[in-house]
A and B are shown apart, each in its own frame.
Chain A
Amino acid sequence: MNDKLGRILIVEDDPKDVELTLTALEEYNLANEVIITGNGAEALDYLYCRGKFSTRSSDNPAVMLLDLKLPKVDGLEVLKQIKSDDNLKMIPVVVLTSSREEKDMIASYRLGVNAYVVKPVDFHDFVNAIRELGVFWAIINSPPPGSVRR
């Protein structure tokens, strides 16, 4: 099932959230192709193969899980840059955030986000949400050409 696993780019500043997300993905063997970036600037570096990512292969991730509240460059700004770049705008972006605020939701959809998921407080729900996201975007969904597939 996992032989066609797509690469997941996680943009999350909170190490605890990163750990919980990875735990959830590991539980379902979805964590093999995961890249973690801690802020918006680093995420953009990854996408544009800049800085410490200058030597990475130029393939795009199959999905990007993007937090909104990020240091340096925030999530909405990252989203805006991706969706206005011809080479990047095909990357599916899922906003994964604690914010249930309608204005964040509206702003994200305006910028062309592919999905908006509020991180559930309950761990079971959280694990389920991450699993379903991973399964859908990294396995079921056919990513645009040029994405990393193992």
Chain B
Amino acid sequence: MVRSNFHLRKVLSAVPRYGFAVASVAIALAPGLVLQHYKFNDVELPLFLFAVALTAWHAGVGPAILSIVLSTACFDFFFATPIYTFYVAFADLPNVIFLVSFAALIVWFSSIRHSAERQLRQARDQLQMEVLERTQQASLLNLTHDTIIVRDMGFVVMYWNSGAQELYGWAPEEAVGKRSDELLGTHFPESIDEIRAELLRTGRWEGEVTRTKADGTEVVVASRWSLRRDEQERPVAIMETSNDITEHKRREEEIRGLNQELAQRSTELEATNKELEAFAYSVSHDLRAPLRHIAGYAELLQKRASSALDEKSRRYMTTILDSAKRMGNLIDDLLTFSRIGRVETQRTLVNLEQLVKEAVGEVRLETAGRDIAWKITTLPVCYGDRSMLKIVLVNLLSNAIKFTRTRPRAEIEIGCAARTQGEAEVFVRDNGVGFDMKYANKLFGVFQRLHQPDEFEGTGIGLATVQRVIHRHGGKVRAEGVVDQGAIFYFSVSKP
């Protein structure tokens, strides 16, 4: 009824509404005149009042006032004596006043009714909007992957979103109205009283809880609770958002297991390393001592018995001494090589130019009686273990000196081949005997030698040591050579 009226009002815009007033008065006038013709008097008044009421009801206040004016005029002209004049006889005056006042009353009531209706409609529209908005918000809560549960203070579920259904397996209609802790068999990390106390004190609580799903499997969730209070600050509900961390926990557990295993392996490795260190120590100490004795006593024997020995015996003695010396060098080189694998690198800023000068000083003994043209160009400051990098330089310089021995004038150059962001490539170039590039891959292997011992002496550990140091620094080594024309050794170092 209200709704159709609303539509009617919309249809009746101003002109039709006033037309409605005129028409209704005209329609009331027609039967009045007909009935008056047949001497049925006093019907016209209710008819006019009916027309006014109809207009007021359907067309509003303005047309209703028009209908009052028209009705009064028609009544005055057609029915009040004297008829067909606008003059009103005294006897008919109460009728006119009755018509006007009663019609006015009808219009007034009708307008009150209309305004009440309007307010009602507005209130309803507003309510509809709010409902729409709330519905949208509620559907947003259903969109989230997180589970959202609202419970009253007795843990009875009041709201259960689709995330909760997805995670726990119960539909909202199954869960709402039940106690959540019973439904889900929740295991709390602390007592429920403590949780409640914290919730009331701070308004929130969070922790990891274990729950059982509808299918019986366990799930671990990270749960966050917020307390809702009413206008009087009384706690009324708890909103819980939570997300599934079962997989996360499982991975954590797995990582913990792996870490434990790693720690154990690391302990084992440490033990192995200690053993290795003990071995190296005993090599260093216990193998060197008898070697020194062999060399020492052979030397003493040579001194004492030299005159009594024949040429062959003297050569035997010399061979014993040379071999002992060579073995000593071998042990020393092997120890250096193994130490680089065992010892932590102590990285600092290293001035390579300064270090090259020190290395040149260290190999000075090997250059006695030689004509060597040194060329040291600008070298960068790099980042690395100073003593290890010195081993690299000493080895490379020592090699350069050794393999240029057949040259009347040796040329050895140390420089920087390339600099890129964070890295520099240093080279040591010589004009020595060089090597065939097809053996380049063998150069850096332990005990790999490209020359006969009687040609160029050596232990075959030097370049392996160089490679090990540079690899431990995260760098690369390479070599270029041409037989009889010299060799270039490159190594890269990181640069600040």
**Residues of A at under 8 Å CB distance from B?**
14, 16-17, 20, 23, 69, 97-102, 119-124, 126
- Residue among A16, A100, A119, A120 making CB contact with B335, cutoff 8 Å: A100
With CB as the reference atom, state the residue of chain A lying closest to B387.
A102
Which residues in A have their C-beta under 8 angstroms from that of B299?
Answer: 123-124
Interface residues on B, range: 20 to 34
Cβ–Cβ contact A16 & B296, under 8 A:
yes
Q: Which of B117-125, B173-181, B287-295, B414-422 contacts A (4 or more CB under 8 A)?
A: B287-295
B374 within 8 Å of A by Cβ?
no
Known: A16-B297, A23-B300, A121-B325. A100 touches B292 (CB 8 A): no
Cβ–Cβ contact B292 & A98, under 8 A:
yes
- In the bound complex, CA of A8 to CA of B473 (Å): 46
- In the bound complex, CA of A16 to CA of B293 (Å): 7
With CB as the reference atom, state the residue of chain B lying closest to A24.
B296
Which residues in B have their C-beta under 8 angstroms from that of A69?
Answer: 285
Cβ–Cβ contact B297 & A122, under 8 A:
no
- In the bound complex, CA of A99 to CA of B280 (Å): 10
- In the bound complex, CA of A54 to CA of B289 (Å): 33
Other than A14-B289, A23-B300, A126-B296, give 8 A-B pairs with Cβ distance below 8 A.
A17-B292, A98-B286, A98-B288, A101-B284, A120-B328, A121-B325, A123-B295, A126-B292
- In the bound complex, CA of A33 to CA of B300 (Å): 23
Say how far A53's CB is from chain B's closest CB, in angstroms.
27
**Residues of B at under 8 Å CB distance from A?**
280-281, 284-286, 288-289, 291-293, 295-300, 321, 324-325, 327-329, 331-332, 335, 339, 343
Which residues in A have their C-beta under 8 angstroms from that of B292?
Answer: 17, 20, 98, 119-121, 123, 126
- In the bound complex, CA of A97 to CA of B289 (Å): 9
Known: A14-B289, A121-B288, A122-B325. A100 touches B296 (CB 8 A): no
With CB as the reference atom, state the residue of chain B lying closest to A99.
B285
With CB as the reference atom, state the residue of chain B lying closest to A14.
B289
- In the bound complex, CA of A101 to CA of B296 (Å): 22
Cβ–Cβ contact B293 & A20, under 8 A:
yes
Which residues in B have their C-beta under 8 angstroms from that of A124?
Answer: 299
Say how far B273's CB is from chain A's closest CB, in angstroms.
13
Say how far B166's CB is from chain A's closest CB, in angstroms.
62
Cβ–Cβ contact A123 & B281, under 8 A:
no
Known: A121-B325, A122-B328. A100 touches B295 (CB 8 A): no
- In the bound complex, CA of A49 to CA of B163 (Å): 89
Which residues in B have their C-beta under 8 angstroms from that of A17?
Answer: 289, 292-293
Which residues in B have their C-beta under 8 angstroms from that of A20?
Answer: 292-293, 296-297, 300
Say how far A16's CB is from chain B's closest CB, in angstroms.
5
Say how far A113's CB is from chain B's closest CB, in angstroms.
17
Which residues in B have their C-beta under 8 angstroms from that of A119?
Answer: 288-289, 292
Chain B, interface SS category: helix
With CB as the reference atom, state the residue of chain A lying closest to B280.
A101
Known: A121-B325, A122-B325. A98 touches B289 (CB 8 A): yes
Cβ–Cβ contact A100 & B289, under 8 A:
no
Q: List 6 A-B contacts (CB under 8 A).
A: A99-B281, A119-B292, A123-B296, A123-B298, A123-B299, A126-B292
Cβ–Cβ contact B297 & A121, under 8 A:
no
Say how far A75's CB is from chain B's closest CB, in angstroms.
11
Most buried by A among B281, B298, B339: B281
Which residues in A have their C-beta under 8 angstroms from that of B300?
Answer: 20, 23, 123
Cβ–Cβ contact A102 & B339, under 8 A:
yes
Cβ–Cβ contact B284 & A121, under 8 A:
no
- In the bound complex, CA of A17 to CA of B332 (Å): 19
Which residues in A have their C-beta under 8 angstroms from that of B285?
Answer: 69, 97-99, 101
Say how far B381's CB is from chain A's closest CB, in angstroms.
25
Known: A14-B289, A101-B284. A121 touches B335 (CB 8 A): no
Which residues in B have their C-beta under 8 angstroms from that of A100?
Answer: 284, 288, 332, 335
- In the bound complex, CA of A101 to CA of B324 (Å): 21
Say how far B326's CB is from chain A's closest CB, in angstroms.
10
Which residues in B have their C-beta under 8 angstroms from that of A123?
Answer: 292, 295-296, 298-300, 321
Which residues in B have their C-beta under 8 angstroms from that of A98?
Answer: 284-286, 288-289, 292
With CB as the reference atom, state the residue of chain A lying closest to B326.
A121
- In the bound complex, CA of A121 to CA of B299 (Å): 12
Most buried by A among B296, B328, B329: B296
Which residues in A have their C-beta under 8 angstroms from that of B296?
Answer: 16, 20, 23, 123, 126
Say how far A103's CB is from chain B's closest CB, in angstroms.
8
- In the bound complex, CA of A97 to CA of B281 (Å): 12
- Residue among A14, A16, A101, A126 making CB contact with B281, cutoff 8 Å: A101
Which residues in A have their C-beta under 8 angstroms from that of B286?
Answer: 98
Say how far A128's CB is from chain B's closest CB, in angstroms.
12
Say how far B53's CB is from chain A's closest CB, in angstroms.
117
With CB as the reference atom, state the residue of chain A lying closest to B332.
A100
Say how far B325's CB is from chain A's closest CB, in angstroms.
5
- In the bound complex, CA of A26 to CA of B370 (Å): 35
Say how far B464's CB is from chain A's closest CB, in angstroms.
19
Which residues in A have their C-beta under 8 angstroms from that of B332?
Answer: 100
- In the bound complex, CA of A101 to CA of B300 (Å): 28
Which residues in A have their C-beta under 8 angstroms from that of B284?
Answer: 98-101
Most buried by B among A100, A102, A121: A121
Say how far A149's CB is from chain B's closest CB, in angstroms.
30
Known: A17-B289, A126-B296. A121 touches B281 (CB 8 A): no
- In the bound complex, CA of A144 to CA of B108 (Å): 131
Closest 10 CB pairs of A and B: A121-B328, A123-B299, A98-B288, A20-B296, A123-B296, A16-B293, A98-B285, A123-B295, A99-B285, A98-B289
Cβ–Cβ contact A121 & B339, under 8 A:
no
Most buried by B among A14, A99, A122: A122
